[in-house]
Each structure stands twice: as C-alpha cells, then as structure tokens.
Amino acid sequence: MPSSLRARRRRLTFIAVSGAAVAGVAAIVALGGGSGGSAPHARPVATASSPVSEATPDAQQKSLLSLARRDAKDPLALGRSDAPVVLIAYEDFQCPFCGKFARDTKPELVRRYVDKGMLRIEWRNYPVFGTESEQAARASWAAGQQGRFWQFHDIAYAKERPRNKGEFSSARLREMAREAGVVDLDRFAADMQSNAAEVSVMKDQGEGYSLGVSSTPAFLVNATPIMGAQPLSAFTSAIEKAAKEARR
C-alpha cells in the first residue's frame, strides 16, 4: 500500500475511534507531564455539546470509570473482570519508563492485588516512538490472539533496548513471540500485519488521545491519573484508596 494512502487511512481510522471514545462523555481529563515518550498534539477533547469547562466532578469521574472495558475474554488484561479497581496502562514497548514499570512495579502489583482479586490491569497500546513502536504494538496484539500477550510483554520489556535500532524489527518480534510460547508463528506474522491488529492499536491510541495523554507511561487507577514510572507507593496508595471508594 502506498505510504500516502496508508497515512490517510490511519488518519480516518483515528478520527473514527477518537469520536467513539468521547461520544456521550461529559468531560475528559488531560493526562500529561510525565517522563517518557511524547505523543505529538495530544490534548483533551470535548464534544460540542459537552465542553470540558461545563463538566462536574461526578460526571468526570463517571466518564473515566467507563473507560474500563472489563471484557473477561480480553487477552491484553490481567485479573478478574469484576475487580473493584481497574488500572488502565497506556504504554509503548520502546519507552524506557514503561519498561521500568513492567520490571519493577507490575510484578508487585500482581502479587499484592491482582492475584487477590482486588485489581485488574488493562493494557492499551500507545506507540509514540515511530515505526518500531507501532510494529511492537501490533505484534503484542498478535501474541494475544494466541493467549501469550503477557509473556510477550515480559520478554519485550526484559531489558532496556536501544530505540529504533532494529530491536523491534519483524524478525526480532517473531523471535520474541517464539520465546513467549506463541505456537503458530506463521499465524502470528499474519495477525501482526492484519487490519484487525491496526484497528485495535488505533482504538487504543484514539482513547489515549481523547484523554490528552501526552507521554508514556500514563495510567488511570479507576478515575485517578498517574503519570510516569512513579514509585510503587504511588500505585499502592491509589489502588487502596480506589478500593475503599468502591466499597462505599
């Protein structure tokens, strides 16, 4: 496909998913100011009928809580679909701060909260560093189609990798998939290049853009934003506070 046509299709897809992400939403909160990858032109978005300035705190919170998909069959999620707290993570596989979160923080959150049914983690692909980031995002989705997303995630983030230097080339991604236990590598390669993979990534990007996510990693703990690779205590405090609020 010519690059100009592909770019046009991506812009049209972005417009469609961004519109869907904000339809009926009373308020959108900008998530910005973190350390990591930058998403150009990210900004809060409001519909003409419900500008941000008219939002009430309750409507804003309800809008943010509604972003949790809670799909029990979502291969890009960890934990019970009915967990009282959902952590949504907008991340890029080439972002070093995302890698730090994956190695240092996520395993402890899984042990303390996911395994006990308190927390659900929902991944959103938010590639901001260009072609290799986009390839890695589609590859992670493809691994998820065979139930190996989180294994792929852990291998991709196992170490800090030089950005846009071939670490996420098609050949290396296939090798990561093999290491992650993806059984059918030919299917993986086809899924990675499929329209379904692109639509899934664009849906996640549209959601992040609609929120004004300006860098990675960005997180929502129920309705509480957390930017950057914050210390474990920032996440535990937000999770425990959200769990208490959910019990009221």
Q: Give the span between the Cα atoms of 24 and 35, in whole angstroms.
A: 31
pLDDT reading at 172 higher than 60:
yes
Q: Token digits for 25?
A: 């939403």
Q: Give the pLDDT confidence of 65-110 residue by residue, as tens digits.
A: 999 999 999 999 999 999 999 999 999 999 999 999 999 999 999 9
- Residue 175 identity (one-letter amino acid): E
Question: What pLDDT, on the 0 to 100 scale, is given for residue 243?
Answer: 98
pLDDT at 56: 84
Is pLDDT above 60 for 46? no
CB 19 within 8 A of CB 47: no
pLDDT mean over 180-199:
98
Query: What is the average pLDDT value for the chain, to the nearest integer?
Result: 85
How high is the pLDDT of residue 34?
Answer: 54
CB under 8 A, 24+ apart: contacts of 184-188 = 184/146, 187/145, 187/146, 188/139, 188/142, 188/143, 188/145, 188/146
Residue 229 predicted with pLDDT over 90: no
Domain boundaries, the chain: 3-247
What topology does CATH give the domain 3-247? Answer: Glutaredoxin (3.40.30)
pLDDT digits (tens, 9 = 90+) for 2-44: 444 344 444 444 434 444 444 333 334 446 555 566 654 443 3
pLDDT score recorded for residue 161: 96
Token digits for 125?
């692909």
What are the residues whose beta carbons fall under 8 Å from the beta carbon of 97, sequence distance 6 or more?
A: 34, 35, 36, 216, 217, 228, 229
Position 21 scores a pLDDT of 41
DSSP 123: E
The whole model's pTM is what? 0.83
Lowest mean pLDDT segment, chosen from 38-47, 164-173, 221-230: 38-47
pLDDT 10s digits, 111-123: 999 999 999 999 9
Q: Is 88 helix (H, G, I), strand (E, B) or coil?
A: strand
Question: Helix (H, G, I), strand (E, B), or coil: what is residue 220?
Answer: strand
Task: Decide which of 39 and 166 is more confident.
Answer: 166
The confidence score (pLDDT) of residue 36 equals: 64
Q: What is the pLDDT of residue 25?
A: 38
H helices of 23-160, in order, are 57-65, 96-100, 106-109, 131-144, 149-156
Residue 135 pLDDT level (bands cut at 50, 70, 90): very high
- The whole-number average pLDDT for the span 192-214 is 97
